[in-house]
Amino acid sequence: MKSFSANIFLSLALSVCSFITAEAKVKLPSFFTDNMVLQQKSAVPFWGQAAPNTIVKVISSWDKKSYTAKADAIGNWTVSLKTPVFGGPYSIIINDGDNLELKNILIGEVWLCSGQSNMEMPIDGSNWGKVNNHEQEVMNANYPQIRLLQAEHVDSAKPLADLKVQHDGWQVCSSKTIGDFSATAYFFAKKIYDQKHIPIGLLHSSWGGTLIEAWTSSGSLHKIHDFDAGLKALESDFDKEAMQKKYDADMKIWSAGVEKADRGTKGKWDAVAFNDSSWKTMKLPQYWEYDALNAVDGIVWFRKVVNLPKNMAGKELTFEFYADDDDVLWVNGTRIGATAGYNVKRAYKIPASVWKETGNVIVIRVTDATGGGGIYGKDSDIALKAGTESLELAGDWKYAVGVNYKELDPMPFLPAGQNRPASLYNAMIHPIVKLPIAGVIWYQGESNADRAHQYQTLFPLLIADWR
């Protein structure tokens, strides 16, 4: 059994504003709640805040022992609870003059589950796709010995003392609680429990689309010097502005190069008269990575000839669809509009004057920077509409690649928000480094794919950092 706190010191004085306030005066971190799981056969640090210089007693029901601590001058206190072999349920009473009781506690294995979207994807994710037999899986998720703790998405320039969590803390795994929880983490715990019949606590702290360096501490990243500028920008507005200015200039040059390289723009693929007979076909809606364009980031053009039913001819029509990331739309050679953002539903209004009854040429130019790209959603999500009338355009579309970013110099990169080096470690890992755990499951890498060689250094660095 390995302790997650090796050689790391956590100062609770950094932040107390997000601690849970119970009825008693004692304040506990967000992850010490009813229904929690503590690591078996360990010395588990248990801490919080009270009035300065207060005597705090912590009584654990599994051994009936009373652990005493004195809050320091700013109210911080800590004790070390000795946990037995797995079992429960137990309770913990914290007394500083008033009693605060945590109930339904289990002793077992605690697993940290982290990474990007492959870890984050829930069992019943409306915008993610759903796992096989998701309705049956949710209905059968009656595992009271599995407990769930879901961290919120938070990034920070400095290490935080507490973890921001959902649902006010730990939840018991059931059909009511599992739907929006990590599918990977759940099936991992389910397999362990079915084999070992030991309580499992899943501490899920992940964020889709994130980089491994964001999950690594600044102290470890400084050892390799690849991210010194980004780490410096975390601490300095001057360096942040300088990085932004350089990025904006580099991005302007790079974007101009993309436009120049796009075969569709040069070849006027938006024109009605363009001959697309040599193009291949793809069924839409779907991400193009699921078809013939695996691992393609860049610009892809789609064309389709559409005949209007008589009840829609001569009317203004609205064309609705989802695109990842950005798109431009032409109908019969007329540029209708453009939209940026992978999670924005398009709803282009196309004047009646643009349409013909037959032979309408619809052209969509989709730009994807990373990850899944294309026209996605359900068949009913891609349709022409006029009032209550609807014409689905799902099915075969002609396509061709305008430019694959692999043909160009790498896109400039600006660490921002949750992808700043160390920013997720600071907010979503640092608060829990003192907790003993059984281990970590990690599901990440796609966001670093364009720097795969560097990942050979970064992944072992993160492992050593967290240990």
Full DSSP string of 337-389: EEE--TT-EEEEEE-GGG--SS-EEEEEEEEE-SSS-EEES-GGGSEEEETTE
Q: At 30, give phi and psi (nearest 5°).
A: -60, -20
- Is the pLDDT assigned to residue 238 strictly greater than 70? no
CATH class name, domain 263-407: mainly beta
* Greatest C-alpha distance within the chain: 84
41-44, long-range: CB within 8 Å, 24+ apart, which pairs? 41/1, 41/83, 41/84, 41/85, 42/1, 42/3, 42/82, 42/83, 42/436, 43/80, 43/81, 43/82, 43/83, 43/436, 44/80, 44/81, 44/82, 44/83, 44/435, 44/436
Identify the pLDDT of residue 240.
Answer: 73
For domain 12-223+422-466, give the fold: Rossmann fold (3.40.50)
Q: What is the pLDDT averaged over residues 440-448?
A: 95
Q: What was the pLDDT predicted at 409? A: 86
* Residue 215, CB-side half-sphere exposure with 13 Å CA sphere: 29
Q: Take residue 67 and report the two structure tokens written for it.
A: 């652990």
Predicted pLDDT at 237? 66
Instruction: Name which of 115-119, 195-199, 231-235, 251-255 the model is least confident about.
Output: 231-235
pLDDT at position 11 is 35
What pLDDT score does 6 carry? 39
Q: Where are the chain's structural domains?
A: 12-223+422-466, 228-260, 263-407
Average pLDDT over residues 306-332: 95
Q: Contact at 8 Å (CB) between 43 and 435? A: no
Residue 24 has pLDDT above 70, yes or no: no
